[in-house]
Structure 1
Amino acid sequence: MLAKGLWWLMTPWLLPKRVRVRRANMEAAQAAAFRDAQTQHGLQLVRDSLARAAGSTETLNASGTDKLAELNRAAGGDAAFLSPWPRQDQAEIEDVWSAARWCIDLARLHPDFHGVLPRRVAGPGREGLQWTPEGEKALASLSPHAFSCVTELLENDPSSRARQVFLFQQELRSLVPHGLTPAGWPHLLPWFMRYGLAAGKLRVEEIWWLFLEAAQDPRRELMLAHAFTPAWQQTHPGGATVFGREKFVAWFAAEYAASGEWLNTATWPEWEEPASQIRTAYVATESWRTAHPNAFADASRASALVAWLASPASPLSEALRAWCAKFDPSILGAELAKPGVNVIGHFCYPSGLRVSVESLVTALGLNEVATSLRDIRTDAKDDPCHADFHGLESHDITVVHVQPEPLLDTAYERADLFERLPRPYRIGYWYWEFDSIPDSWVTHAQKVDEVWAATEFVARGLRERLSVPVRTLFPGVQLAPYARRGKSHFGLSEKPYTFLFVFHMMSVMERKNPLGLIRAFKSAFGEDEGVRLVLKTSFGDRHPEQFEVLKKAAVGGNIVLINEVYTPDNLLSLMDACDAYVSLHRSEGLGLTMAEAMLMGKPVIATNFSGNVDFMDESNSLPVSYKLVKLGQAIPPYDADLEWAEPSVEHAAQLMRRVYDDQDWARELGARAKESAETNLSLQSAGRKIRHRLEEIKAMRGKSQAE
C-alpha cells in the first residue's frame, strides 16, 4: 500500500485518468447492482403469481375466440399492454413499427383474429408465415409503401427478440417453462411488461406480437417449451413425437392446471419428419430397442422396424399402428438408415465459429446426411433465432462444435438440451492457434470420443497431446447469400482503392495484429495517395483499453475503423465492396475471412503461417514472410511460452504497394484465388469426407454392439 501511495504522489499527471477509471468502475458496479435487483424483483413477481394461482381452481382454456380475452385477463389490467397506442390508421403506416401496430390492431379488433394475423405454419417442409383470406383482403387495401412496410416487418419476425429474451432468462424459465402457453400467460405477461421491456430493450409491439403468436397456436408453443426445457425432455423424451405426446400432454394438463381444445393431440400437426420422430421414440423406448437392436444399422433392419411398428405385434395403440402403416417400410427404412448426426454449436453468435458450423451443416446436407441442430446460448447480442434450432439428440453421433473452454462443460445447458444417456458417440470440433494445446484440454478430451480439426496446423498440436483420435476434416467454405452494395453504403467514399481487414475484438487483438497492419500500411502509403485501409471490428466496448490503443494507432494515414456488429449479409457486402484483403495475423486456426475473400476473387495478402497455409500459397495469394517468436507474457487464454508468427511489416508493405501499383495484375491474382478456392474449399468435397468418417463410426459402433 505504501509503494502504491508513493507512486500516486510521484505521478500526479495520471490523477484525472485514475478518477475517470474509478468513476466508471463505480458506475458499472451500481448499474450491475441495479440490474441484479431488478432481476430478483421480477422473479419474485412471478413467484407471487404462481403462489396465488396454486390456491385457485380457475384455468385458462384459450379455446376458440376466447384467446384474446384470456390474453387481456392475463395482463392483469396493465394499461400499457391493454391500451398501448391510439388506433393505427393504415394511411399513417410509415415504417415497420407503425406496420406492426396496424397488424396488431387488426388482430385485437377483429372478431376472430385468426382471420387477420398471419399464421406461422410449422411442420416438415412447411415453415413460414401464411395469411388467411381475411388478412389478404386487409393487405389489398394498403398503399404500396404501407404494403412494403408490412412485408419488411414480417420478414424480420417481430416476435423473435421478445422470445429470445424469455429463452435467455434461465431462472425465469425454471419457474415458468410453460410461460408462452395459455396456462403460463398470467405469470409471464406481467413480467414482460414490468421487467422484460427494459431487460431486453424491447418495444410493446414486440411483446404484443409474441403473445398474439402464442395465442394463435398454443400447440406450437407447448412443443417449443418441450424443446427448450431439459427436465421435460428427460421425463418425456418422446413428448414431441406422435408416440409420446398424448402422455406428455396429460402430464402437462395435470401439472399446470391447463385445459382447452389446444390440448387435444388428435388435432396437432406433426412437429418433425416421420423418420426423426421414429428415431427419437426409438431412443426413448426400451421395448423397441429390445425387439429390434441396432435397428438403423442398414435399410433392411430399419424397414423391419417400421413394418413391426405397423403390425399387431407392436406395443402401439391401433391409432399409432395406423400412423406407421401410412409409410412404405422400404422407403422410410432407407431414410432411417442414412447417416445422421446431432450438431451443437454457435448458430446465432456472430463469429467465425458460426460460419464454420453453418458450413459444416450445409456440407452434410449436400451429401444427404441428416442433421439435428441445437444453438448454444452465448451472448445477449446473439441473433434472435435460438428457437429455430430445436432438434433433439436423436442420432447416435453428436458433434459439439464449441471450444473446450469456456463452453464445453455447459454446452448442453446453454443449448437447453437434455444430455442423452447413455450418450451418443461424441465428437469435439475444436479450433486452436498454436502447435501446443493447454493442459486443461487434455482433461476436456476425456468427455469426447474423438476430435475434429479444420486444418492440419490445428490437428498436429492436438495429436501431440490427446489420446483420442484426431481427424482433419475441413468444414468447407461457401459464401452465404449477400447483396452487392457500394462502399457508400458503409459510409465510405467510392473512389480510393481499399484494403480491408475484418477481425473480432473478442478473438484476442494481439493475435489478429491490426497494429502491425497499420504500421505496414502507413509505411507503404502516404496520406496524399488514393488508397485506404478499413479495419472492421466489433465489441470494442468489451475491451476499452485495447480499443483506445487501436483508435490512436489508426489516426491519420487514410485509415477507417468500423466498430459495429454486422449481419453476415452486411459483412460479406463490405468485403465485396473493397478491393483487396490483408491479414497480418500472428496465428489462425483456419483463416475464414481470407478464404471468403479468395472466393470473391480478391487479391489476398496474409501471413504465411498457421491454418490459412492449407489453402494459400504463392500461386493464389501473397504470403507474407515471418519469424517465430515467443509471446513473452501471458495473453489469456494463451501462455507466455507459446510461439506465434511475427509477420514482416516491411514485406507486407511491399506487397500492398505492389497490389496498389499494378491493379490489373492484382485482379488476375484474385481470379486465380477464386478458381483455387472454389476447387479446394468446396462444401461438396468437405461434406463427402465428413460423411465417410460418420459411416466409419457407424460401422464401428454397429460391430461393437453385435459383439
Structure 2
Amino acid sequence: MTIPTGIIWIGPVFQMGGYGNVSRNFLKSLSKLGIRIHVISISDIDQEIGQDEINFVKRISRTDWTVGKNPLLIIHTLPENYQYFYKRFCGKFTNVYKKIGVTIFETDRIPQHWVSACNLMDEIWVPSQFNIQTFSNSGVDINKLKLVPYAIDLNPLLKPHNSYQFEEETNSFKFLYATIFDFRKGIDLLIDSYCKEFTEEDDVTLVLKVYVPQLKIDIDFLAYLHSLIPQKEKNPHILIIIKNMSDDELYSLYKSCDCFISTDRGNGWGMPAMEMMAMGKPAIAINWCGATQFMNESNSFLIEPEKELEDVHTLLATNRPGLYAGHKWAAVNPKSVGKVMREAYENGEKRSNIAHKAQEDIYTLFSLDAIALHLKSIIGV
C-alpha cells in the first residue's frame, strides 16, 4: 500500500459554525500524526472563532511543496463543489494519491446530484452509520464510503468558565437548544412540545440560542420564532437569544444550563449536544439519524420517533428544493418530546447518571486523540 507523503486539506477552516468547527477539529487530530499538512481555506476568516483557532490553522499549515510526491487530497465541503475546488487549487499536484471528500447529510437520502459527485472521488468520509446507509441507498458506491466520526477538542470546554449573564430572569432549571436558524432544526416542534408539557407554574426555562445565518430568505427571524409560541395563558418561560457569541460566551451559556435538547428531525451530527455532554451535562435528542453515532440510551435521553417517516418541512423543501424536495425525516409526536423533557426535569438521579456516562463516552471515543488513532488506520500512516 502506498503511504501518503502529506495531506492537502481544502475546507472552510476559518468559518464559524458546524463545518468550520469540524474542519479545525479534523486538522487538530491529523496534526497529531506527524504528517505534513497544507491547508487551503475556502472561507473568509470569522473573528468569532477566536485568535487561538486562527493561529492554530496558520501554524500547522505547511507550504504546498512540503506535502511530497504522493499526498492525500481531502476536500471538506458539499459534494457538488468537489470538482470545482479540485480544479481551482490542485493543478500543480500531479501525483495525488487519493481524492477524498468529507461530507454529511441529514435526511433519509442525499440530493441526487451528489451521487455522481461522490462517485468521482476515491473515498467519501461520513461521520455516522446512518450516513453510510443513506449515501449507499442513494447510489454512492458503498466501497468508497468510510466511517470517520467527528472529533471534539476538549481543552476549551474543560477550562473554567464564568456563569452566563442572562438579560432577563430565568427559572432554576434551564433547557438549552443552541442551533442555527433553519426550518429543519425542529424549533417549531420544540416550542409546541414544551408549551404543551409545561406551564408557568413549573420552575423551568427554555433557552433558545439561535444563530441567524445570512440566508436569502424574506423572513423576520425573531418575529417568526415568537409566532411559534401558542397564544394561551400560563405558557412556560421561554428566552430567545439571537445575538452572536464567541465560543467562550457559548461555553458559559452551556455551563449555566441544565440540559441540552435538540428536536432536529434531520440531524447530521449534533456538535452542541456533544459539547455539552463533554462538559458533563445531560442531552436530549431524537433517536434517529446522525446523532445516534454518539448518543444512546445509556448516555442520553432519547425521544422515540413514530414508526413511519414524514415529508420534510414544507418551507425547507420550497426554499431549497435541490437539496430537500421529496426527502423524508423522523416524524415526532409532541407528546413524546414533552414526556422526555418532563423526565429529564424531574429525575435528578437519572440526569446525573446519564451526564456522567455521556462525559465518559465523549472523552473515550471522540477526543482528538481517539479520532487521530482512527484516522491513522484509515489513511495508512
Q: Work out whether the TM-score is over 0.5.
A: yes
Q: 1:581 offset after TM fit, Å?
A: 0.4
Is the 8 Å Cα contact of residues 36 and 62 (structure 2) preserved in structure 1?
no
Is the 8 Å Cα contact of residues 363 and 475 (structure 1) preserved in structure 2?
no
Residues 1:428 and 1:540: Cα distance change in structure 2 (over 3 Å)? closer
Show the counterpart of 1:16: none
Matches within 5 A, 1:633-652: 633=314, 634-635=317-318, 636=320, 637-652=322-337
Matches within 5 A, 1:463-542: 463-464=136-137, 465-467=139-141, 469-482=144-157, 483-488=160-165, 490-493=166-169, 496-505=172-181, 509-539=182-212, 542=215
Show the counterpart of 1:668: 353
CA distance in 2 between counterparts of 1:553 and 1:632 reads 14
State percent identity of aligned pairs.
23
2:13 alignment partner, SS class: coil
Residues 1:571 and 1:382: Cα distance change in structure 2 (over 3 Å)? closer
Is the 8 Å Cα contact of residues 202 and 236 (structure 2) preserved in structure 1?
no
Letter in 1 for 2:22: S
**Structure 1 unaligned spans of 5+:** 1-293, 299-337, 697-707
Q: Identify the match of residue 427 of structure 1 among 100, 105, 113.
A: 100
Q: 1:419 offset after TM fit, Å?
A: 3.7
CA distance in 2 between counterparts of 1:540 and 1:360 reads 24
Q: Identify the match of residue 577 of structure 1 among 256, 259, 274.
A: 256
CA distance in 1 between counterparts of 2:362 and 2:49 reads 29
Letter in 1 for 2:38: S
CA distance in 1 between counterparts of 2:126 and 2:268 reads 9
Greater per-residue helix proportion: 1
Letter in 1 for 2:111: P
CA distance in 2 between counterparts of 1:546 and 1:610 reads 30
Is the 8 Å Cα contact of residues 192 and 229 (structure 2) preserved in structure 1?
no
CA distance in 1 between counterparts of 2:91 and 2:169 reads 52
CA distance in 2 between counterparts of 1:667 and 1:492 reads 27
Residues 1:680 and 1:648: Cα distance change in structure 2 (over 3 Å)? farther
Residues 1:562 and 1:473: Cα distance change in structure 2 (over 3 Å)? same
Residues 1:540 and 1:682: Cα distance change in structure 2 (over 3 Å)? closer
Letter in 2 for 1:581: F
Is the counterpart of residue 630 in structure 1 residue 311 in structure 2? yes
CA distance in 2 between counterparts of 1:451 and 1:620 reads 29
Count, aligned residues: 355
Is the counterpart of residue 350 in structure 1 residue 350 in structure 2? no
Is the 8 Å Cα contact of residues 48 and 247 (structure 2) preserved in structure 1?
no
Q: 1:448 offset after TM fit, Å?
A: 2.3
Q: Identify the match of residue 362 of structure 1 among 7, 28, 33.
A: 28
Q: TM-score, normalised by structure 1?
A: 0.46
Q: 1:399 offset after TM fit, Å?
A: 0.8
Is the counterpart of residue 545 in structure 1 residue 219 in structure 2? yes
Show the counterpart of 1:654: 339
Show the counterpart of 1:558: 237
Residues 1:454 and 1:541: Cα distance change in structure 2 (over 3 Å)? closer
Show the counterpart of 1:681: 366
Letter in 1 for 2:228: A
Letter in 1 for 2:133: R
Q: 1:495 offset after TM fit, Å?
A: 5.0
Is the 8 Å Cα contact of residues 601 and 670 (structure 1) preserved in structure 2?
yes
Q: 1:587 offset after TM fit, Å?
A: 1.1
Greater per-residue strand proportion: 2
2:295 alignment partner, SS class: coil
Residues 1:360 and 1:571: Cα distance change in structure 2 (over 3 Å)? same
CA distance in 2 between counterparts of 1:435 and 1:592 reads 20
Matches within 5 A, 1:34-183: none
Return the structure number with greater relative CO, CA threshold 8 A, min gap 6.
Answer: 2
Letter in 2 for 1:630: D
Letter in 1 for 2:353: E
1:353 alignment partner, SS class: helix
CA distance in 2 between counterparts of 1:511 and 1:632 reads 7
Residues 1:687 and 1:493: Cα distance change in structure 2 (over 3 Å)? same
Residues 1:616 and 1:560: Cα distance change in structure 2 (over 3 Å)? same
CA distance in 2 between counterparts of 1:371 and 1:525 reads 51
Is the counterpart of residue 593 in structure 1 residue 272 in structure 2? yes
Q: TM-score, normalised by structure 2?
A: 0.83
Is the 8 Å Cα contact of residues 632 and 641 (structure 1) preserved in structure 2?
no
